[in-house]
Structure 1
Amino acid sequence: MTRFSSFKPKKVLFIATRQIGDVLVTTPLISKARELWPDAEFHFLGYKGKLDMLKGNPDIAQLIETSDRPSLGEYLSLFNRLFQRYDLAFVTQPSDRAYLYGLVAAFRRVGVLGGHPQGKDTQDQAKRDKTQKQNAWKKWISIHTVGVDYFSQHVITEKLRLLEVFFKNPEALFSKPISVTPPVGEALTPVITNELTQPYVVIHPGPLTAYKRWPLAHWQQLITWLVQRGFQVVLSASPAKQDLALNQDILSLLDESVQKQVLDSAGRLSLPQAGSLLRGAALYVGVDTSITHLAAACNIPTIALFGATPPTNFGPWPNGFIGKQPYQLRARSQTVGNVTILQGPGACVPCRQAGCLDRADSHSECLDLLEPNQVIQAIEQALNQQ
C-alpha cells in the first residue's frame, strides 16, 4: 500500500448519501481527520433532510444537500458546484452515485467498497462476482479502499480505516478513545418540558423496516413495568405515518393509569431536540435504528434490541471505546460502556437477512422470542450501575 503520510489537503469532502444513521457514524472519521489535518476545511455532502445529525459539528464548515433522486438539472448544478473543488473526497458508502460525486469533486479519493456475505450456493457466488465487477472502476479511481465486512468489521472501524493510507502506523487510529459526535442540542418546546414532571425513560419502538420491530405486547409489558417503577415514559418516533401509527397502537394497549404517565413525542422533535431529550433521560430502550445510535452518542444508558443485524457491524458504538470491535457476533446480552445489546434466541442469529421471510415486511422470530423480562433485567442492571 502506498502511504500518503505527508499529504496535507486544504479542502476535504465527506460523502454520505444514505440515512441519518449513516451520517452519524461518519463523525468519528471526521474527528480523526481533524486531528490529522487541523487546518483543512471540511465539507459534507448528503441527502436533504438527513444532515441534522451534523448540526453544530465543530469540524464541518459547510453542509451540501442533494436530492436522493436528483433531476438532470440538479445533477448539473451539483456537479458545477463540486467540480474539482477539493483535494480529497471520502466516499463513505459503496454506491455508484457516491463514487461519481467523489470523482467529480476531488483530485484524490478514498472509499468504501461493497461486498456480499460469504456463501456456497451458486446465487451467492453470482452476486459476489457482480459486486467485484462493480468495484473494479471504484478501485481504479481511488488511492485507497476499504471493503465492507457485514459480520466481522464494525461500521465505525470501516470508516476510520479510510484514513489508514495517511498514517505511517495505521494502528494508531485505534489506540485512543473513539467517540461519536451527536448534534448540538436544541431547547425542547414548553409543551413537552412542562409534561416532564419526574425521571423519564425514552423508548423508540419504530425502525425503518418491519422486520426490526419488537412485538406490541412486549412494549406494553415493558412500559407498564417502567411506570410501576416510578418513571415517566417518553415514546419517540419519526414523523413517518407507520411510526406514528405504531406509537398509537402501543398506547391503545396500556391501562388508563399507565397511559397518563406516557408522553408521545412522535413527530414533534427535530433531531437536535431529540438529542436534548435523550441527554436528560435516565435510560433509553430502542430497536435497531438511528435514534438508538444517537442515544449511545449522548452517553446515556442505552438498551438496544437486535435481531437480524450483526452487532459486530452496526451495534451502537460505546463512546470512548478503544479498539476496532466492541462486540461479539452472538450473545443474548452484552454490555460495553453505556451500551447493552440484547439478542433473541436461535442459532441463525444474526442472519443479516430482512427477517425470517427475507423481505422488509417480514417478522423476525428472534425478536418475537426476546422476552420483556430479559429487557427488564438489563434495565435494572444499567440503573444499578449509575
Structure 2
Amino acid sequence: MTTYSKIKPKKVLFIATRQIGDVLVTTPLISKARELWPKAEFHFLGYRGKLEMLHGNPDITEVIETSDRPGFSEYLSLFNRLFQRYDLAVVTQPSDRAYLYGLVAAFRRVGVLGGHPQGKDSADKHKRSKSEKQNAWKKFICMHTVDVDYFNQHVITEKLRLLETFFKNPADLFSKQISVTPPVGEPLTPIIASELKQPYVVIHPGPLTAYKRWPLAYWQELITWLVNQGFQIVLSASPAKQDVQLNHDIMSLLAQEIKDKVINAAGKLSIPQAGTLIRSAALYIGVDTSITHLAAACNTPTITLFGATPPTNFGPWPNGFIGEQPYQLRARTQTVGNVTILQGPGECVPCRKAGCLDNADSYSECLDLLEPKQVIEAVQKALAN
C-alpha cells in the first residue's frame, strides 16, 4: 500500500449519503482525521433530514445537505457549490452518487467499495465479477480504497481504514481509544421533562425495517417486569407512521397500572433531545437501529437485540474500545464496555439477509426465539455493574 503521510489537506469533504446511523458511525473517522490534520477545515455532505447526529460536532465547520433524489437543477446547483473546492474527499459510502460527488468536489479521493458476495459457487463468482467491474472506475479515481466486509470487519474500522494511507504505520489507527461522538444535547420538551422521574429506562422498539422487530408480547412482558422493579419507562420512536403505530400497539397491551408508569415519546424528540434523554437513563434497550448506536455513544448501559445483522459489522461501538473488532460473530450474549448484544438461537444467525423471507417486511425467527427471559437476565447484569 502506498503511503501519503506527507499530504496535509487544507479542506476536506466527508460524504455519507445514507441513513442517520451511517452518519453517526463516521464520527470516529472525523476525530482521527482531526488528529492527523489539526488545522484543516472539515465539511460534511449528506441527505437532508439525516444529519442531526452531527449537531454541535466540534470538528465540522460546514454541513451541506442534499435531497436523496435530487432533480437536475439541484444537481447543477450542488455541483457548482462543490466543484474542486476541496483538497480531499472522503467517500464513506460505496454508492455511485457518493463517488460522483467526490469526483466533482476534490482533487484527491479515498473511498469505500461495495462488498463482494460470500461463497464459491458459480452465482457468487458471477456477482463478485460484476461487482469488481462496477468498482473499477471508483478505484481508478481514488488514491486509496477500502473493501466492505459485512461479516468480519466492523463498519467503524472500515471508515477508519480510509485514513490508513496517510499513516506511516497504519496500525497506529487502532492503537488508541476509539469513540463515537454523539450530538450535543438539547433541552427536553416541557411535557416530557415534567413527566420524567428517576430512575427510568429508555426503550426504543422500532427499527427501520420490519425484519428487525421483536414481538409485541415480548415488549409487554419486559416493560411489565421493569415497572415492577421500580423503573419508569420512556418508550421512544421516530415520527415515522409505522414507529408511532408500533408504540401505540405496545401501549395497548399493557395493564393500566403499568401503562401509568410509561411515557410514550413517539415522534416528540429530536435526535439531540433523544441524546439528552438517554444520557440520564439508568439503561437503554433497543433493536438494531440508529438510536441504539446513539445510546452507546452517550455511554449509557446499552442492551441491543440483534437478528440478521452481524454484530461484527454493525454492533454499537463500545466507546473507548482499543482495536479493530469488539465483537464475536455469534454469541447469545456478549458484553463489551457499556454495550450488551443479544442474539437468538440458530446456526443461520446472523444471515445478513432481510429476515427469513429476505424482504423488508419479513419476520426473523432468530428474534422470535429471543425470549424476554434472556433480555431480563442481561438487564440484571447491566444494572448490577
TM-score using structure 1 length = 0.99
Partner of 1:298: 298
Quick check: 1:205–1:237 contact (8 Å CA) kept in 2? Answer: yes
* Alpha-carbon distance in structure 2 between the residues aligned to 1:18 and 1:121: 31
The code of the aligned residue for 2:174 comes to F
Please state whether the residue corresponding to 2:116 is helix, strand or coil: coil
Q: SS in structure 2 opposite 1:331?
A: coil
1:341 is aligned to 341
Question: Is this contact kept in 2: 1:117–1:150, CA < 8 A?
Answer: no
Unaligned runs of 5+ in 2: none
- Post-superposition CA distance 1:297-319 (Å, at most 9, x none): 00000001000000000000000
* Alignment-derived partner of residue 205 in structure 2: 205
Output the CA distance in 1 between the equivalents of 2:115 and 2:21. Answer: 20
Q: Following TM superposition, by how much is the alpha carbon of 1:284 offset from its aligned partner in structure 2, in angstroms?
A: 0.3
For the 8 Å contact 2:117–2:127, the answer to whether it is kept is: no
Residue of structure 2 equivalent to 1:193: 193
Q: Are 1:126 and 2:107 an aligned pair?
A: no
Give the Å deviation of 1:293: 0.2
Aligned partner of 1:136 in structure 2 is 136
**Distance in 2 between residues matched to 1:239 and 1:97, nearest whole Å:** 27
Query: What is the letter of the counterpart of residue 39 of structure 1?
Result: K
Match of 2:64 in 1: 64
CA RMSD of aligned residues (A): 0.6
**Mapped partners of 1:311, 1:304: distance in 2:** 10
Q: Offset at 1:372?
A: 0.2
Q: Report the equivalent of 1:244.
A: 244
The residue that corresponds to 2:156 in the other structure is: 156
How far apart are 1:236 and its partner, in Å? Answer: 0.7
Matched, 1:278 2:278: yes
- CA apart distance, 1:117: 2.9
C-alpha displacement of 1:198:
2.6
Number of equivalent positions: 385
Shift, 1:124, TM fit: 2.3
Residues 336-377 of structure 1: per-residue CA shift (max 9 Å, x gap): 000000000000000000000001100000000000010000
Report the identity percentage.
80
Query: 1:380 corresponds to which residue?
Result: 380
TM superposition shift of 1:29: 0.2
Q: Deviations over 1:240-270 (max 9, x none)?
A: 0000000000000000000000000000000
Q: 1:157, 1:350 → 2: CA distance?
A: 19
Structure 1 distance, partners of 2:198, 2:261, is: 10
Q: Which residue of 2 aligns with 1:364?
A: 364
Aligned to 1:254: 254
Report how far residue 182 of structure 1 moved: 0.2
Q: Deviation string for 1:48-97 (max 9, x for gaps)?
A: 00000000000000000000000000000000000000000000000000
Residue pair 1:114, 1:135 contacting (<8 A) in 2 also: yes
1:231, distance to aligned residue in structure 2 (A): 0.3
Between the aligned partners of 1:124 and 1:247, the Cα distance in structure 2 is 40
SS class of match (2:58) = coil
How far residue 197 of structure 1 moved from its aligned partner, in angstroms, is 2.1
Match of 1:36 in 2: 36
Q: Could you tell me which residue of structure 1 aligns to residue 233 of structure 2?
A: 233
- 2:201·2:233 contact (CA, 8 Å) conserved in 1? yes
Instruction: Give me the whole-angstrom Cα distance separating, in 2, the residues matched to 1:284 and 1:32.
Output: 28
Question: Secondary structure in 2 aligned to 1:305?
Answer: strand
Q: Distance in 1 between matches of 2:241 and 2:151?
A: 32
Match of 1:51 in 2: 51
Q: What residue number does 1:171 align with?
A: 171
Q: How does 1:59-138 map to 2 (within 5 A)?
A: 59-138=59-138
- C-alpha contact 1:52 1:272 (8 A) present in aligned 2: yes
Letter in 2 for 1:382: A
Task: Write the deviation string for residues 149-208 of structure 1: whole angstroms up to 9, x where unpaired.
Answer: 000000000000000000000100100000000000000011101101231000000000
| Residue 268 of structure 2: aligned partner | 268
Separation in 1, partners of 2:14, 2:44: 5
Corresponding residue for 1:182? Answer: 182
Aligned counterparts of 1:266 and 1:148: Cα–Cα separation in 2: 34
- 2:197 counterpart SS class: coil
Segments of 5+ residues of structure 1 without an aligned counterpart are none
Aligned AA (1:334): Q
Equivalents in 2 of 1:122, 1:236: separation in Å? 45
Distance 2:296 2:4 in 1: 33
2:107 partner letter? F
Q: Distance in 2 between matches of 1:341 and 1:186?
A: 28
- Give the partner amino acid of 1:342: L
TM-aligned CA deviation for residue 128 of structure 1:
1.4
